[in-house]
Amino acid sequence: MKTALVSTLALMIAGAIAPAAQAQGDAQATDQQLAHAVRVAEAHAGVGMSHVFVFAHSGQVMLVGWVQERDHVARAEQSAMSVPGVTSVDNRLSPDGGSLNGH
C-alpha cells in the first residue's frame, strides 16, 4: 500500500513538473527567436550589427553595444519595436565606437 501511494505521488509530481519545464524551455526558445528576429530587422534597416548584442525576455528587448553612426542608435530602436512580439526596447547603444579603440 505504501509503495502504491509513493508511486502515485511520484507520478503526480512528475506530471506537474514536466509541463513547467517544457514551458520554460519554450519561453527560452521564443526569447531566442525574438532576439534573432530583432537582429534580422536591424540588419535590413541598415544598422551595423557587428558590435551589438540583442537580449530578449518575454517581449522586452535590450540592445547593448556600439554602432558606427549616430543615426543607427535611433534606427536600431525603431526597427526592434517593429518586430512582432516586442513590447519594449531598452536601447543602450553608443554611437561612438571610437572610444573602444582608444583602450
Give the tens place of pLDDT for each residue, 30-80: 999 999 999 999 999 999 888 999 999 999 999 999 998 899 999 999 999
- What does the alpha-carbon distance between residue 103 and residue 100 come to, in Å, rounded to a whole number? 6
| pLDDT for res 10 | 46
| pLDDT for res 102 | 44
Domain boundaries, the chain: 2-101
- For 55-83, the DSSP string reads EEETTEEEEEEE-SSTHHHHHHHHHHHTS
Please tell me whether the overall predicted TM-score, pTM, comes out greater than 0.85 for this model: no
Q: What is the helix (H) or strand (E) element at residue 4, kind and residue range?
A: helix 2-44
% of residues, the chain, pLDDT over 70? 65
